[in-house]
Structure 1
Amino acid sequence: MGITIPKQLQNDKFRFIKIRSDTRKLPLEKEWQSKNNYKYNDPKFIEYLKDAKGYGVLCGCDHLAVIDADTKEVENAVTNGLPKTFVIETGSGGYHYYIIPDLDNKIVLQIGEKKNRKHYGEVQSTGNQVIGSGSLHPSGNKYKIKINADIATITKEKLHGVLADFIEDKTAAWGDGSETPISAIAGEISGLKRYGKELQGSHPIHGSTGGMNFTINTEKNLWHCFRCNTGGDALTLVAVMEKIITCSEAKNGLQKGKFVKTIKIAKEKYGIEPKNKDKR
């Protein structure tokens, strides 16, 4: 009878690829990312599906991305933090969450130093592919629909916010930590919700389209803005909130004059006394 493409993926802008029957995961044809891919209703692809053991879904087309959740931690974060969406149970027992987040690149979900690094999964985007529903896994199990819902459209900020616990910050834009407790500042910001170690919500100054572009990690004692790709400690957050510096300037820290002004406001308005490490 062959494989049928799910209705959620029957989009003229989406593309699909042929998969090698021996590995059941690797692309069959070269240049599959740019040339050898097919629409769901392409006669050549329909003919291929009649006897195929599997096919791939090309990510990045019309902003399509797939969260490849390898652990329960990621599954729980996605289920609790993102809207209902189209989900495939993989042949190995994991889950593929289909989303449209306007993502630029693949995100690897891993935390820790090289020797102790733990891998949680990936968010597959432009230039990557995932195995589609109805395909046969090397284990003999089939990829099958788990949640038969429409593909959810979310913001990039929302995605980063929900998966913040599993994303290493390659740009070090969180800034340097301080000993002044950032939790004292977090209490002054309305609308933040707890997701694991993170408090997430809309940026207190420039706001957010999706309501999830700002996060505070109370364990690291740091904050981060996904829109500006910047961040810092408790004192830089006070400086941003009091408009002593802009959000994008926070990654550069506080210069002497602005630092003194921020210290004064932190004590008078927020009732926090900077610790010794913060004094200059």
Structure 2
Amino acid sequence: MQAALDYGRRGFSIFPCSQDKAPLTEHGFKDASPDLRKIRQWWTQFPDASIGISCIASGLIVLDTDPRNGGLHTLQALEQEHEPLPITLTALTGMQNDCRGTHRYYRAPEGDIKVKGQLGEGIDCKYSGYVIAAPSQHQTGVNYQWIDEYQPIADLPKWISDIIIKKPAKAPRRRTSAGHGDSITDQYNLRVQDYLMPENGRYISSDEIRGAHPAHGSSTGNNLCINIRKNTWYCFRHQTGGGGVEAYAVARGIIDCSEAGAGCLNNKWSEFFRCLREDGIITPTEADPEILASIDALIQKWRRLQACQN
């Protein structure tokens, strides 16, 4: 408990996780807090819990370098192309072939930003999710360990910001009639890897990445697969999946991962578009009557087909 309380005193928003990184609170990393009373309650209830740090709530972007997936080579190439990373608060993570991964903590830029899921192969960017912190135990058996626990946290380097901070989306093209035009996924550039990038993901082919589900964790570290080229995902725990729309809906908590699939957003489209507006993906005047009308038309068509089949 003392380590968890120390994080709270330093202003980190934390929450308890199981040994397989799964959140132990009802709403996962969204429950994270620096409040010492909450932290005491959580670690009294879960005394052996790992410590999860909510990156976005703590104002952090964490670069997760995984040597198993070529992260060290990617980082070396990027530093040669740009400049060396500044010294910052850094933790050692898992052990693989006598080589450990790292979490480098940086201050996130101010404002409402959107962060890509990867800096490059083997380097994940943690912002909308969470990371496990020292002295929690990693799945490889070693403990997360600070290189210098009180090293100041540096600002995110500009060259990294230029790569991973997504530019504001262009105004989407309007649909001309119900059921025609670009899909919602294409229209608003909803990419699976931006919302459901697997934790500690590794490439299993040129297009597919497999790892732990960022929303509900994984006991195996291997329960989510995304296909970047096809813009699709599949959760092996719930046997559900979809495309960019479903990935966004799961990441934003509009639906649970177990609900993803055909018709999962019936009666939830208003909340879906409200979230798009809140996130700045669309402006308040976009996507209201015309797109909602097209969605209603598609839903009615789907219901008629279901009725015919029954």
TM-score (norm 1): 0.46
State which structure, 1 or 2, has the greater radius of gyration over its C-alpha atoms: 1
